[in-house]
Amino acid sequence: MADFNYRAIDDFIHSRVRLMIMSYLAAARSAEFTVLKKALEVSDGNLSTHIKKLEDVGYVLQSKRFVGKKPQTLIAITEKGDKAFKVYVESLAAMVGLKQD
């Protein structure tokens, strides 16, 4: 227990939906809002709220673009978000490791 720092558990990522967003983007690097919504199986409002929270701490970035005449929202993971996600995963892995000891 002494080796595990619970403060490393990032509260901004530590929510099921935000964790799913960060995991998906850590691999895909960026995704359209509609694609993310489909992958996470959440509502528009729910997804928007969580993306906003992640954007406020600088973990993701939203941008608008047009594909043909249709507007599209693109969400991308930032370098800060990538680092925070890695630390978060390492913290979880350390915790699982503690259990195995």
Rounded distance between C-alpha atoms, residue 54 and residue 19, angstroms = 10
- Interface residues for other proteins in 4-43 (CB under 8 A)? 4, 6, 9, 14, 16, 19-20, 23-32, 34-35, 38-39
Tokens representing residue 39 in the block: 């992958």
- With tokens 């630390």, the residue in question is 87
Rounded distance between C-alpha atoms, residue 92 and residue 19, angstroms = 12
- Interface residues for other proteins in 72-91 (CB under 8 A)? 74, 76, 82, 89
Q: How many residues bind to other proteins according to rule CB under 8 A?
A: 33
Q: Interhelix angle for 79-100 vs 16-28, to 10°?
A: 110
Instruction: Write out the residues near other proteins by the rule CB under 8 A.
Output: 1, 4, 6, 9, 14, 16, 19-20, 23-32, 34-35, 38-39, 67, 74, 76, 82, 89, 92-93, 95-96, 98-99
